[in-house]
Amino acid sequence: MTAFLPEFIGTALLLLLGNGVNANVSLQKSNGNSSGWIVIAFGWAMAVFVGVYVCASLGGSSHLNPAVTIALAYAGKFDWALVPQYLAGQMIGAMIGAFFVWLAYKQHFDETPDGDTKLGVFCTAPAKRNYMHNFLTELIGTFVFMFAVLSITKSSASLGSLDALPVALVVLAIGLSLGGPTGYAINPARDLGPRIMHFLLPIKNKRDSDWGYSWIPVIAPITGALLAAVLYNLVM
């Protein structure tokens, strides 16, 4: 199996379930409407668990995140030659996952009048728009995520079929603790792929796709992950 396919399938599942919980909580007349931030945080954590587990079962490395792939390659823990395949799988998988969320929730997108809510199903937006602070928030969140992932992968302990659980719990912790200011993208593919789909899909009464903000959940996670890799190599 190519390096592309496991990352594609794992990331598609990550976004199908992650954007799916956004849709369930946010869109009008869904049974999960207004169930709150904790539901979203748990939903995203379980989305990570499923995506990582399935990707690993297919023989992949379960990055599902360009920031992780780039940081691991920089740290010498991953072959640079595989990076393009991984990034392509992650981006296309994220777009496909977002498409199926739209398909599943089409009636509820139609019932929801607010364009900001619809955009928020697909991608992140800051609670208070200040690009410097928004960048720092995403950098800090991804730094924590990447440093934890490096520590987890170094451990010799195994949970067997639950090996994906520690990463999911890290995402849950970040969502509950650091997610409020920007929606904790911590993954360029998770934000950019669905944002592109929001732009392309025929969503009723949609707003623009907020391209002015779109660089932050791409560049800040990569920067945070690289800083985590640098510090990890220095102290471990």
Compute the distance between CA of residue 227 and CA of residue 161 in angstroms, rounded to an integer: 30
Confidence at residue 162, expressed as pLDDT on a 0 to 100 scale: 55
DSSP state of 76: T
CATH fold of 4-235 reads Glycerol uptake facilitator protein (1.20.1080)
Compute the distance between CA of residue 228 and CA of residue 85 in angstroms, rounded to an integer: 23
Confidence at residue 236, expressed as pLDDT on a 0 to 100 scale: 80
Number of Cβ within a 10 Å radius of residue 96: 18
pTM (two decimals) = 0.96
Q: What is the DSSP string of 176-219?
A: HHH-TTT-----HHHHHHHHHHHHHS--TT-----TTTTTHHHH
The mean pLDDT value for 88-100 works out to: 98
The mean pLDDT value for 200-222 works out to: 97
Q: What is the DSSP string of 6-27?
A: HHHHHHHHHHHHHHHHHHHHHS
SS3 state at 63: coil
Confidence at residue 13, expressed as pLDDT on a 0 to 100 scale: 98
Residue 76's contacts (CB-CB under 8 Å, 6 or more residues apart) are none
Structural domain boundaries in the chain? 4-235
